Amino acid sequence: MATSKLLVSTLRKSLTSPSPSSSFRRFSTAAEEAVAPASEPEDSLNIKGVKISARPLYLDMQATSPVDPRVLDAMLPYYLARYGNPHSRTHLYGWESDQAVETARCQVADLIGASPKEIVFTSGATECNNISVKGLKGSIRRDTGLVSVMAVNNEIGVIQPIEEIGKICKELNVSFHTDAAQALGKIPIDVDKWNVSLMSLSGHKIYGPKGSWEWAACELAKKEMEYDDKRIRALQERLLNGVRAKLDGVVVKDVAVSSGSACTSASLEPSYVLRALGVDEDMAHTSIRFGIGRFTTEEEIDRAIELTVQQVEKLREMSPLYEMVEEGIDIKQIQWAQH
């Protein structure tokens, strides 16, 4: 990934070179290290009791994405020089931050066809979902209801007919909330057409920072949506064809196979999304989600194919169940003895 011009030119100079005339302490070089993970000593990755020989490939873009260097460039002045509180009404620092927040509001609104005054910033989609759903519940009367539907599913990529759902809600006069965290910047969104009352979005899924919104990410998402879509689809095809060419018995549904979302990755339970779709427990347990993003390369895809094939072959070699499947035995019909 290209490094941020500003990060390199400004931060490196100002934060890491000792200034003889300066009485300031030298800061840590964390920023410098952050953009150069390749310098990591190979045997240094020892985390949660697991020793990892090298940094693994990252194919979990639905969980979160790296910050686009262009977004970082746009953000840095607001961390280092223009760091006013937008609520400070009495000085330049406050005014310029306020202006930046208002610009951000306009750009988010523009990406989803909303009006800037309809945009409320939260820490992410989880908080937004909670505020929307719980907040609405409080004001709902007996004879009204709330409909909440995820626009694009974060495990299997299913796109819901949000416009039609919105129409039904309008007809029945029911408030409509949609979690569009995985839809933003990937498919066109128009809040008016969709007739949504409340929508949850998340900046860190579209190469913005975690925890807050960044307008530059929205502006870029609008500009790059078509290009990203084509490129990611091509990488997806490459991944699927690569795995299918070397492994039989791989079931692939449209976009991605899934081991569950980031929200449920701590649990050993199979994906509730797949279970709700009627997928058998063994299939749900053995599914993997690949999340490809703007900065994923063909080399990373090829490596992912190689590693996936290697691991699946190794597991199949070790598995007596796989041998039985190969012999044509339906393992679902086996009555297992209790011990």
Ligand X SMILES: Cc1ncc(COP(=O)(O)O)c(C=O)c1O
Catalog residues that contact ligand X under the rule CB under 6 A. 62-63, 124-126, 150, 154, 179, 181-182, 202, 261-263
Identity of the residue, 165 or 305, whose beta carbon is nearer to ligand X in the bound complex: 165
* Gyration radius from the chain CA atoms: 24
- Kindly give the residue spans of alpha helices, DSSP state H, lying in 113-153: 125-139
CB of 122 to ligand X, least distance (A): 8
CB of 284 to ligand X, least distance (A): 18
Residue pair 163/193 in contact (Cβ under 8 Å)? The answer is: yes
Of 176, 159, 154, nearest in space to 272 by CA: 154
Active-site positions read: 263
CB of 76 to ligand X, least distance (A): 22
CB of 60 to ligand X, least distance (A): 9
Residue pair 85/97 in contact (Cβ under 8 Å)? The answer is: yes
β-pairing verdict for 50-52 and 45-47: antiparallel
Identity of the residue, 97 or 182, whose beta carbon is nearer to ligand X in the bound complex: 182
What span, in angstroms and rounded, lies between the C-alpha atoms of 16 and 9?
A: 11
Identity of the residue, 8 or 131, whose beta carbon is nearer to ligand X in the bound complex: 131
DSSP 212: S
Identity of the residue, 97 or 261, whose beta carbon is nearer to ligand X in the bound complex: 261
41: left (phi over 0), alpha (psi -120 to 50) or beta: beta
